[in-house]
Chain A
């Protein structure tokens, strides 16, 4: 089935073409100046006295200069949080929501729109995407990064599709690890605590002169999962104990002063309980691996970069239905090739050209009756213009062309054929524009506009679950789905407050999501052309959001540090979902995330001691789980709550630190979803820096 491009999309495509012509005309006016050497984050951060990022535009920038709302979590922040996982750190970032219903079962959202198996967030490790292609979700315990090897976590709020492509609509989290060539990190950490938690990690770096470096890391954990709480029967029986083991090798070799290569390999396995599929509680076991290689070169044409990576995952999902265990499996694969050219033209202009090819596939007889996949071809252009010493204008545009393909045996009677998939092609433009005005030495204004694109996930397209497998009716995907389009406008104001050694950050934003996608487990009942009743992925309307954030953060030379923030997101859904007396979909963004969140933190370091206290209050929201016979959704109100974390660290020697951390010490259990409540955790850790 050929997907016809709507007139609205054609207008967007014409805009993209015109923009490219205008920028292309400008490019020929200046000769590119050759650049050299990669980004040495540590040295640049020391020079400018603040973190440096390439995540917003592809060029290195000071965080305060970036044309986006970005927050940086440093390695010091990670250590002081006492966290044992990345989501535990993220829950104290303004505008970020974390929903957790198991030790390792976590979903993260930015500015609302959070849900089980959230597909709105893009997560990367050093620019490599790490989400699962089945539902576009993140399995955090499968990310092959140890906390000790993270230099910084960059949280970009709002759509960033012009740089990252499809699915970077809610926000982007880029996990930046230490550089194997410029940084030397050698640590070992051991952790033990509740509930039945044992974990550890080791990171080692070796340098060969100043031309090559390799960093090896390994780590993992095992634990008893949170108590089952409200889960009964099949949902309770399907829970397995969580664990994870990951290994990563990251290397960089400077062949000449102008040319360097890099290579990365990772392996991992994890088991966790959670919602699989959304609304149904089960467990999954995941084996994953990835290989990435690339080359950077300083040439007369600019700083050229070429990289390729392949990642795959073998996933087994375990449920219980009517007392009978069910196991489904799939094999997910991703191949990506990326090329870019970053060049400075004259004194005021920076351009970045990008090309990308991506192939994703989900091979599952159980879930798809075969293999559903997509191929994406993309081209992007970023232009950064220092208009005046105090004003910078950045524009980025990108066009993605997606082709679906399917091979296998579709369910009979649904009215969909293999040809319907194989003839589906989408062309979608996206853009990000930002103006930064440094009005005074203390005041900065930022205005950003964006159009982001969320592609339906592979199983939203190609799910084929027969009647009686999870429920009496069939659940299927649809090749007719339109991608969701996210429009975002934001105004930020930052002010430095040197009198109190702090900085104030504020933001106002408006967002609209067109063609919201309801996947089969959250879609209204449909009738196929053959008369067969089923649940089918569909576009269900639009959603709007408005919000505000305000935060204050500071530290003193005497060792004190503090932060306080408030975030508001008011979401309104205009969809065909949940209009009757009984809920039919978990897709209810107006209710699915807390509207108000207050975060506070206080810390103090003196001599060998380090103490930190963090607290988060969030307002109530609504979640769902399925009833035992899988025929109805049960709405569950998640009451407002406060969670408080604390950590005390003591440096025994120059190389050895002992720390005691308590996650949620103020309450033994807190309901955070319709599933098991989060339990208090006490963790003792021992860290050695070699």
Chain B
């Protein structure tokens, strides 16, 4: 992973946690891409997404393969093969969740409020300690399952 300045919504350590979470997906994605999504016509959101892509560098290892990051506009998520969606600042919402359901992709954000509202599946925070919060409804709607021990150790809402 590139060592750059932290993005506004996800830090370098948050991205590191995301990489480790991949091993607890059931089954773990064996390849494909990570769609880093910014809100349509939102410059700040796009800037945040670009910083997250930089933090992801070459991508995340998962299931023997690599998940490569790619920048995506929330208004054009229908085509493409992605296993994970990372919602940048302001990007969580109906379009992202629709894409998550359609692609059975895990939606990840640093915005806990978005997960509480069901607008994304997983929120990650690494400081002051690692916290992972999962929307049970959003995960079920997208067909996302996790390893049992992991589910027992994270907070579900």
Contact = CB atoms under 8 A, between A and B. Distances in A.
A350 B152 contact: yes
Q: By CB atoms of chain B within 10 A, which of A37, A344, A442 has the most?
A: A37
Contacts of A61: 152-153
Contact of A52 (B20, B21, B153): B153
Interface stretch (A43-51, A158-166, A308-316, A423-431): A43-51
Contacts of B147: 36-37, 40
A225 interface: no
Given A47-B21, A347-B136, A442 B152 contact: no
Nearest to A60: B149
Contact of A44 (B26, B153, B157): B153
B130 to A, nearest CB: 5
Nearest to B151: A344
A344 B150 CA distance: 12
Contacts of B24: 43, 47
Contacts of A442: 128
Nearest to B153: A60
10 contacts: A35-B148, A35-B151, A36-B26, A44-B149, A44-B150, A48-B153, A60-B149, A64-B129, A348-B156, A350-B152
A559 interface: no
Interface of A: 35-40, 43-44, 46-50, 52, 59-62, 64, 298, 303, 342, 344, 346-348, 350, 386, 389, 441-442, 496, 498
B155 interface: yes
Nearest to A440: B128
B23 interface: yes
B17 interface: yes
Nearest to A441: B128
Interface in B118-146: 128-130, 136, 145
Minimum-distance CB pairs A-B, first 7:
A35-B148, A347-B156, A441-B128, A47-B20, A60-B149, A39-B149, A36-B148
Given A62-B153, A386-B155, A48 B130 contact: yes
Given A48-B130, A441-B128, A496-B128, A60 B21 contact: no
Contacts of A35: 148-149, 151-152
A496 B129 CA distance: 10
B156 A59 contact: no
A498 B130 contact: no
Contacts of B148: 35-37, 298, 303, 344
Contacts of B129: 48-50, 64, 441, 496
Given A40-B147, A47-B21, 15 more contacts: A35-B148, A35-B149, A36-B26, A37-B149, A39-B149, A40-B149, A43-B20, A43-B24, A47-B20, A47-B24, A60-B153, A298-B148, A303-B148, A342-B152, A498-B128
Contacts of A40: 147, 149
Nearest to B26: A36
Q: By CB atoms of chain B within 10 A, which of A36, A43, A64, A386 has the most?
A: A36
A61 B155 CA distance: 12
B12 to A, nearest CB: 14
B152 A60 contact: yes
Contacts of B153: 44, 48, 52, 60-62
Contacts of A50: 129
A52 B153 CA distance: 9
B147 to A, nearest CB: 5
Contacts of A346: 136
A59 B152 contact: yes
Contacts of B17: 47
B151 A47 contact: no
A348 B133 CA distance: 12
Interface of B: 17, 20-21, 23-24, 26, 128-130, 136, 145, 147-153, 155-157
B157 to A, nearest CB: 6
Contacts of B152: 35, 59-61, 342, 344, 350
A350 B153 CA distance: 11
A469 to B, nearest CB: 53
Q: By CB atoms of chain B within 10 A, which of A38, A43, A64, A498 has the most?
A: A43
Nearest to A35: B148
A574 B150 CA distance: 48
A676 to B, nearest CB: 46
A347 B149 contact: no
B67 to A, nearest CB: 17
Q: By CB atoms of chain A within 10 A, which of B23, B148, B155 has the most?
A: B148
Nearest to B133: A389
Nearest to A302: B148
B151 to A, nearest CB: 6
Contacts of B23: 43
A653 B107 CA distance: 44
Contacts of A44: 149-150, 153
Given A47-B17, A441-B129, A38 B156 contact: no
Contacts of A496: 128-129
A347 B130 contact: no
A386 B152 CA distance: 11
Contacts of B145: 36
Contacts of B128: 441-442, 496, 498
A503 to B, nearest CB: 11
A64 to B, nearest CB: 8
A312 to B, nearest CB: 33
A344 B136 CA distance: 12
A468 to B, nearest CB: 59
A655 B57 CA distance: 31
A386 B153 CA distance: 11
A545 B147 CA distance: 43
A373 B153 CA distance: 40
A351 to B, nearest CB: 11
B60 to A, nearest CB: 13
A528 B24 CA distance: 65
A43 B21 CA distance: 9
A304 to B, nearest CB: 12
A64 B148 CA distance: 20
B114 to A, nearest CB: 16
A166 to B, nearest CB: 27
Contacts of A60: 149, 152-153
Contacts of B136: 346-347
Nearest to A37: B147
A441 B127 CA distance: 9
A396 to B, nearest CB: 16
A174 B155 CA distance: 26
Q: By CB atoms of chain B within 10 A, which of A38, A49, A50, A298 has the most?
A: A49
A62 B149 CA distance: 11
A40 B24 CA distance: 10
A38 B130 contact: no
A47 B153 CA distance: 11
Contacts of A298: 148
A298 B129 CA distance: 30
A8 B42 CA distance: 70
Contacts of A38: 149
